[in-house]
Amino acid sequence: MRSKLVGIPSVCQRSGMTSRIEQREQTRRTLVHEGRRLFADKGYGAVGLSEIVRAAGVTKGALYHHFDSKTDLFRAVLQEVQDEVGTQVAAAADAHDDPWTQFTAGCRAFLAASTHPDVQRIMLIDGPAVLGWNEWRTMDEAASARHLAEALTGLMDKGVIPRQPVKPLTHLLSGAMNEAALFLAGSDRAEDLSDTITALTGILESLRR
């Protein structure tokens, strides 16, 4: 009987610890969600920490438990946006069986995703300005350029495009698509997206044998 009673507090302690962990994770998710909403609506520079914690319903102490600064919170928001764009690109590519069609569909999906206001403001406009070009490029490479390089390598292995150095080609295409996305972010013409996709398709087609 004594051994059973001894075990009861440990179960309760584990349950309480799990509950606290879940609460902390929920607080973090709420901060990222509200930070993203405010950054997208107003821009990073126009949003203060007091506004973020008020919207999230937490204290500044709770925010600093998860993030070192507003910049650190923005970094987490940017990571979330980049992951979502990557998921959309992967889904567009996976909808096809042909490797070339997968590649071009993924590139077009990236441009289409870049027209969303959240993506434009957070990933393309504020991202480089807030974190600096070098860190933004590092995050961009981890989120999308690496997958672009893998896709290009696969196309070369299958003989779809000629064998050539992958790294410079990846940077050229990634730079072109990021610049096109920035163009779309500042555009107010609905037809600019279709025109840009047409231009991108022409560039991609020139890679084929």
What DSSP string describes 74-120? HHHHHHHHHHHHHHHHHHHHHT-SSHHHHHHHHHHHHHHHTTSHHII
Burial of 71 (0-12, 13-18, 19+ CB in 10 A): exposed
Name the token pair of 110.
């990236």
Over residues 153-164, the mean pLDDT reads 96
pLDDT band per the 50, 70, 90 thresholds, residue 11: low
Angle between helices 146-157 and 99-113 (to 10 degrees): 160
CATH class of 69-207: mainly alpha
Confidence (pTM): 0.84
- Return the DSSP state at 45: G
Q: Rounded distance, CA 89 to CA 111, Å?
A: 9
Given this model, what pLDDT does residue 35 score? 97
Q: Rounded distance, CA 148 to CA 176, Å?
A: 13
**What string of DSSP letters covers 28-40?**
HHHHHHHHHHHHH
CATH class of 16-67: mainly alpha
Over residues 183-190, the mean pLDDT reads 82
The structural domains of the chain, with segments of one domain joined by +, span 16-67, 69-207
